[in-house]
Amino acid sequence: MDAKSQDKSKYKPLTADEERVIVHKGTEQAFTGIYNEHKQDGTYNCKRCGEALYKSGDKFDGHCGWPSFDDEIPDAIVRKLDADGRRTEILCSNCGAHLGHIFEGEQFTEKNIRHCVNSISLTFEAVKMPSENYDTAYFASGCFWGTQYHFQKQEGVISTEVGFMGGHRDKPSYEQVCTGNTGHAETTKVVFDPNKISFEELTKLFFEIHDQSQLNRQGPDIGTQYRSAIFYCSEKEKKTAENLIEQLKKNGYKVATELKPAATFWKAENYHQDYYKNKGGSPYCHIYQKKF
């Protein structure tokens, strides 16, 4: 038992059943855990310390009787070979809590990995539904890291996510989108408070942080996945975008931006979210230039 597991004073008290699994590395009975068939959107956290471990978008049915995930939140999990050398244990990196075991090569998902986790080792935090007074916009302007960087800095923006839209494949991976064969564009989802910032202001920012004249590329990034696009959620949004495009053209700018109705937004892998916020630095191909 490691030092983290021995120090109980700074973590949530555990029941006898929880301690049997989390501290003494036991296993709950298959098909009895509350999160085995759980499908709500949100985050699965460590029962012992509360640290975020898994996102609901990475959960799948492993047909094994325990919650299964094919990815983890970056740096949340530690892997450790069992004493018998046959299996790899997974633990919370923050407190050392035993979670379960990890398996590879089963072909359940394209990532070909399964985190088999005891429900008793987890708690769940549901996604907070946005206020009915919030609106959502979808913008594609090349690499979504840079697009998100600029939008998440704006007052009135409630949240941002990066993902894919406009293609023909369900649940595409980043690698699949990068082939250019899925039809998707790297897209940023922006939830905003229209009482603090308008769709028109967001769209102006969209045009001012990328080169809207480039077709199917943005700087050194080339391919249809890097195209400039606005996926509108209403005819009002479409009209606003059309008016701004006309303003740009009158001011001598070329515009290759496509306008398409919003479709299913497929969230990208966790390591793409908040990239510049987590890694530091600033975008190399999304530089603000005033155009209106």
Give per-residue burial for 113-143: e unless 16+ CB within 10 Å, then b.
Answer: bbbbbbbbbbbbeeeeeeeeebbebbbbbbb
- DSSP per residue, the chain: --HHHH--TTS----HHHHHHHTT---PPTT-STTTT---SEEEEETTT--EEEEGGGEE--SSSS-EES---TT-EEEEE-TTSSSEEEEETTT--EEEEEEES--SSTT-EEEEE-GGGEEEEEPPPPPTT-EEEEEEESSHHHHHHHHTTSTTEEEEEEEEESSS-SS--HHHHHTT-S--EEEEEEEE-TTTS-HHHHHHHHHHTS-TT-SSEETTEESGGG-EEEEESSHHHHHHHHHHHHHHHHTT-----EEEE----EEPPGGGTTHHHHH-S--SS-------
Of 64, 116, 178, 285, the active-site residue reads 116
What CA–CA distance (Å, rounded) separates 100 from 28? 10
**Annotated active-site residue in 143, 178, 233, 285:** 143
Contacts of 104-107 spanning 24+ positions with Cβ under 8 A: 106/62
**116 tagged catalytic:** yes
Residue 143: active-site member: yes
What is the set of active-site residues? 116, 143
